[in-house]
Homo-oligomer: A and B are copies of this chain.
Amino acid sequence: MSNIREIAERSGVSVATVSRVLNGFTGVSDETRKKVLAAAEELDYAPSAAARALVTRRSLLIGVVLLTGDQPEFQHPYFQVVLDGVKNALDREGYDLLLLGGDVESSGEDTYVERSRRHRVDGVILMGAGFDNPEVERLVGLGLPTVAVDLELQGKRAGFVSSDNVEGARLAVRHLHECGCRRVATITGMSHTSPGVERLRGYELEIKKLKLPKQAELVRAGDFYVETGHRGMKELLALAEPPDGVFAASDLSALGAMRAIQEQGLRVPEDVAVVGFDDIQFAALASPPLTTIRQNKVAIGSEAVRALLAMLEDPPAPPPAIRVPVELVVRGSSCRAPRSAAG
């Protein structure tokens, strides 16, 4: 593979001049510029990111950390779309994306933090991390510019972007109430994640505000995935007084819940109305189609990038703390036309 010295020789100028041309600097005669460009073309030149990074001290690399469960099949579809938003935004800005996993087992000592450092990434986008992730502290302690998705990171150089989970949960409960549900349960997300606790909080706040029955038995612990949704719903249906509406903290668990309901020979939404959270691709394809709180996943991804690059450009600026609005999407798993909430 050719380098700027070869270009310099072939076009009869110095490497400095070649560098100037290649970087679009002004103050180079048109004639030399043409010669250099021609030589570069002929040699099929491609610059070396490593050499550049070494001297400029900027890698133009962003570490994107995707912390997912162990079972790949069970990766949450939500992240896929956020990642796509991140990727496209990064592309547009000329940054490259180093995808880092959180598979601590196989990586051994080689955590995503170490890999980020080794590659001198300019910044990090952290997805899927809970409060319990041991590496996070290290990451912000290092002062490596970081934007977390779905985790309220706060640091000199660390901020976050996430959906308005509390408001989303409130919307869901209010909608169920407007559909005529009088006993509204919830299946929660993981309690060591921000979305988990925030959606539970939103549920509780709205239950209280609407003066709906607030009972511990109506709250089942889940983990955002199908199985716990299924199990939680089975438990709810086994109650002496089962709920007539349920808010699941994720679409996946809502789908599990719907399955449990239908397995009991009950109907959605007539017997139990269901509202999920996320609006993953399959929410609309379920039968009945799932009413849900839509997260603007692409916006979350691109906002994370925007915020991160802003931090890079203006170090003293305060780190981002961004809430992306959510939206209620009414489909067949709840009432079609919300009636008024007459007692």
Contact = CB atoms under 8 A, between A and B. Distances in A.
A73 interface: yes
A54 interface: yes
B91 A103 contact: yes
Number of copies: 2
Interface string A41-58: 000001111110110000
B117 A46 contact: yes
A68 interface: yes
Nearest to A47: B118
A72 B85 contact: yes
A186 to B, nearest CB: 21
A282 interface: yes
Interface in A63-89: 64, 68, 72-75, 77, 80-81, 84-85, 87-88
B114 A46 contact: yes
A51 B50 CA distance: 7
Interface string A100-141: 110100110010001101111000000000000000000000
A80 B73 CA distance: 9
Given A50-B53, A84-B75, A285-B259, A98 B101 contact: no
Given A49-B119, A72-B88, A75-B80, A285 B255 contact: yes
A226 interface: yes
Contacts of A103: 87-88, 91
A189 B88 CA distance: 26
A96 B81 CA distance: 22
Contacts of A259: 285
B91 A81 contact: no
A92 interface: yes
B54 A285 contact: no
Nearest to A101: B87
Contacts of A117: 1, 46
A88 B68 contact: no
Interface of A: 1, 46-51, 53-54, 59, 64, 68, 72-75, 77, 80-81, 84-85, 87-88, 91-92, 94, 96-101, 103, 106-107, 110, 114-115, 117-120, 226, 255, 259, 262, 281-282, 285-287, 297-298
Given A48-B120, A50-B50, A91-B110, 6 more contacts: A49-B118, A49-B120, A50-B51, A50-B120, A51-B54, A87-B103
